[in-house]
Amino acid sequence: MAKKFNSKNKGIKKNYLFEEIIKVLSANPNKALNYKQIASELKITDYGQRMLISSVLSELKNADSVSEPERGKFKIKLTESFISGKVDMTNSGTAYIVSEESENDIVVNPKKTLNALHGDIVKVKLYSKGKGKQEGEIVEVIERAKNEFVGTLQLSNRFAFLVPSNNKIHVDIYIPLEKLKGAKDGQKAIARIIEWSKNGVNPIGEIIDVLGNVGENNTEMHAILAEYGLPYEFPKDVERAADLIPIKITEEEIAKRRDFRAITTFTIDPVDAKDFDDALSIQKLSNGNWEIGVHIADVSYYVKPESMIDKEAVSRATSVYLVDRVVPMLPEILSNNVCSLRPHEEKLCFSAVFEMTDDAEVIGEWFGRTIINSGRRFTYEEAQQVIETEEGDFKKEILTLNRLAKILRANRFKKGSIAFEKMEVKFHLDEVGNPTGVFFKVAKDSNQLIEDFMLLANRKVAEFVGKKKESKESKVRNVESQKPFVYRVHDKPNPDKLNSFAEFVAKFGYKLNIKNERMVADSMNNLLKEVNQKKESGMIEMLAIRTMAKAIYTTKNIGHYGLGFEYYTHFTSPIRRYPDVMVHRLLQHYLDGGKNPDIDKLEEQCKHSSDMEKLAADAERSSIKYKQVQYLSDKIGQEFDGIISGVTEWGIFVELVDNHCEGMIRTRDLRDDNFYFDEDNYCLRGRKYGKVLTLGDKVRIEIKRADLIKKQLDFALVEIIEEKKSKDSASKKSENIVKDSKVNKPHNTSTKNKKFNDEWGFEI
């Protein structure tokens, strides 16, 4: 409360008045006050003291601390405040600035965005904060996220515009006719921005590549890659360098390696795979134990550091898997020929070899370079048939490996590994790439056999390099044994997200124990088993994954929470992942007694690899979404059964049961009732009849629209499929979704395609 001054209080110091007046004006930054109003705020009644306020105001004005917008009325002069952040642009052109300097996003009106684009790093001038959201104005573009954009060309006699495919790019790019590079009206192309004045409405650009006609498969796939800044072809000089790599294996090189050519060895891969980067060998030892070899293509032998091929591989960091193609990290002559562990060919490998008991206990290990000759290439389906029928090539070896893998798997889950269901959506494609059907691939024993031995190799390599060793003399930890290395880490779940998720599933009648990390893993596995095949299973699985962190590459080991491993790396796929090449080089370097390398450079490469992995996963999902929309584009008017997979204020998302394609039913198109978004209970609720549409509900829909450009499907609701409900309280659990839940609510759920890999990054 302001101090009251009266006539008896004659000793008011002028300096004190300065402070009090500044406080009053600062509390009313948007209001001009005269000396009487300020005196009233300060409860000063004495005439002399009021005149002193007037005198102080004049001095403050002369000192440029206050302004006088009206005669006798004064306002505080606010110091301009700036922050920097990343632009998240909306379709309408409104920008939200995400900044580490601000707890909440800064809203920028479309007319105040300068010439910033989605993803740019910008400097923002903050306005005085009122009761609403913090607003600001972009005053500088610090760093462009990109300056090349994919879009469709609109051509006239005098000029052309490229309309960007990404709807977050809110302006079209003006293309002078002399900068078209042969592009024609309606074609997809890539434009580079070459000029954009601060006062210019549209940026000026030039066409740098013509992708082709809209709707053609190659055009659309190349457009997806270009949209995410991913290459769709190799530079000619890189391909020439790959062609010149010597592929003959010399006797001198063989002599340096451990020879596995006479030991039973084979590969198990997807039916359409061409880059076989791992093989398994097995033989029984004289002591009754098993020697299991995990043999990985020795890419680092052929790709030398800082070579032209290596620099290209560093840049790409990963192979990209779209619906109809693989865009390899390495030129095809390496990925599909020289390095690929093709059957009946001598191949150079980097291997992890384990001596295991009949109970799958590892009692010995060896890491080093080898030479192998695979005796058979199995598809997963062929290996699965051997497992199921106990007949076929290498049946004893495959059955033994499968038995050992199951023990490894069981032990892994006992120690805290979390099991998410893995299912891939696949398309039957015709000769020009059009989808003619959808099918699903679920991991079976043959897939898990490979998975568990690859996990073993990855874990043991990480432990070999990273695990602290004890000095024989002192039995204390030897700090020098800690060598810089590339780890694949997965952080613990955010406690707030985990707690909210536990509250969320509780409303469905499920319990998640979050008292400690071990209980969380066990409880999560039990929950996933319990919800399997239930109508809410997809939603709960998806939210469970979103509760978890994302796996990344780093030199800072924090363990892999989802797998329950203290040490984990990626060693087993150097043909398609650059971190695995880094791991091979580091492992050999340490085996040779090399000194510690530059950890900062390693960390920089790790971050780049993590970033590129995310872009590749986004591009893969985009290609799947495109094919799903394309698959349904000739089925307008047909009806399908679906399950509500997301709820928003503007509508519900529905995933179709037969093909896992997802589309939206907009709230304005729901005719049966006047629906509104009940945010507390996360559902659409009818005002008139009280109908409820919530996650997991089964509905019958009609395909209304298929927009290939936006990769969006619009559905119309035909009917809500009612189910018999029991009388107990659990029967209503789907309607009693947690109130005020802080769980990351899904506004859109993708297919389950590689969800295990994309969301957590657990790929082997």
Distance CA 398, CA 446 (A): 9
Look at the block and give the residue holding tokens 């071990």: 518
When pLDDT is averaged across residues 520-528 and rounded to a whole number, the result is 86
Mean pLDDT of all residues belonging to the chain: 87
- Say which CATH topology domain 81-143 has: OB fold (Dihydrolipoamide Acetyltransferase, E2P) (2.40.50)
When pLDDT is averaged across residues 354-360 and rounded to a whole number, the result is 97
- The crossing angle, in degrees rounded to 10, of helices 47-62 and 35-42 is 120
Does position 240 have pLDDT exceeding 60, yes or no?
yes
When pLDDT is averaged across residues 228-247 and rounded to a whole number, the result is 94
pLDDT-derived band of residue 512, with 50, 70 and 90 as boundaries? confident
- CA-to-CA dists, residue 377 to 29, 257, 347, 352, 451, angstroms: 76, 23, 14, 20, 17
Question: Side chain identity at 399, as an amino acid letter?
Answer: L
Look at the block and give the residue holding tokens 């978004």: 677
Percent of the chain with pLDDT over 70: 89
Structure tokens at 357: 């008991």
Residue 728, H or E segment = none
pLDDT at position 743: 37
Residue 699, H or E segment = strand 698-707
pLDDT at position 479: 44
pLDDT at position 422: 66
- CA-to-CA dists, residue 9 to 2, 45, 49, 309, 489, angstroms: 15, 11, 10, 85, 68
Query: Which of the pair, 543 or 347, is modelled with greater confidence?
Result: 347
Range with the poorest average pLDDT among 164-173, 205-214, 599-608: 164-173
pLDDT at position 131: 61
Residues of CATH 1.10.10 domain(s) within the chain? 14-76
- Say which CATH topology domain 148-214 has: OB fold (Dihydrolipoamide Acetyltransferase, E2P) (2.40.50)
- State pLDDT tens for residues 278-289: 999 999 999 999
- State pLDDT tens for residues 663-696: 999 998 898 788 998 877 778 999 888 888 988 8
Sign of CA dihedral 177, 181, 186, 191: negative
pLDDT-derived band of residue 164, with 50, 70 and 90 as boundaries? very high
pLDDT-derived band of residue 230, with 50, 70 and 90 as boundaries? very high
The conformation of residue 731, written as its DSSP 8-state character, comes to G
Range with the poorest average pLDDT among 330-344, 512-526, 630-644: 512-526
Most confident of 261-265, 478-482, 510-514: 261-265
pLDDT-derived band of residue 360, with 50, 70 and 90 as boundaries? very high
Does position 210 have pLDDT exceeding 90, yes or no?
yes
Does position 156 have pLDDT exceeding 50, yes or no?
yes
Distance CA 130, CA 163 (A): 37
What CATH number should be reported for the domain whose range is 633-723? 2.40.50.140
When pLDDT is averaged across residues 527-537 and rounded to a whole number, the result is 78
Does position 188 have pLDDT exceeding 90, yes or no?
yes
Put residue 7 in one of left, alpha, beta given phi > 0 → left and psi -120 to 50 → alpha. alpha
Query: Which of the pair, 720 or 552, is modelled with greater confidence?
Result: 552
pLDDT at position 760: 45
Does position 494 have pLDDT exceeding 70, yes or no?
yes
Residues of CATH 2.40.50.700 domain(s) within the chain? 148-214
Does position 474 have pLDDT exceeding 70, yes or no?
no
Look at the block and give the residue holding tokens 């009233």: 40
Residues of CATH 2.40.50.140 domain(s) within the chain? 81-143, 633-723
- State pLDDT tens for residues 111-132: 899 999 999 999 999 886 656 7
Range with the poorest average pLDDT among 46-50, 107-111, 404-408, 472-476: 472-476
3-class secondary-structure state, position 427: strand
CB distance 242 to 334 below 8 Å = yes
* CA angle at 121 for the pair 116 and 126, rounded to the nearest 5°: 80
- State pLDDT tens for residues 409-467: 999 998 888 887 667 888 999 999 999 999 888 889 999 999 999 999 999 999 999 98
* CA angle at 758 for the pair 757 and 759, rounded to the nearest 5°: 100
When pLDDT is averaged across residues 67-82 and rounded to a whole number, the result is 84
Distance CA 660, CA 435 (A): 14
Range with the poorest average pLDDT among 52-61, 516-525, 729-738: 729-738
Closest to 586 in 3D by CA, of 408, 477, 751, 462: 462
Question: Side chain identity at 235, as an amino acid letter?
Answer: P
Model pTM score: 0.82
What CATH number should be reported for the domain whose range is 14-76? 1.10.10
Does position 543 have pLDDT exceeding 60, yes or no?
yes
DSSP state string for 277-330: -EEEEEEE-TTS-EEEEEEEE-HHHHS-TTSHHHHHHHHH-B-EE-SS-EE-SS
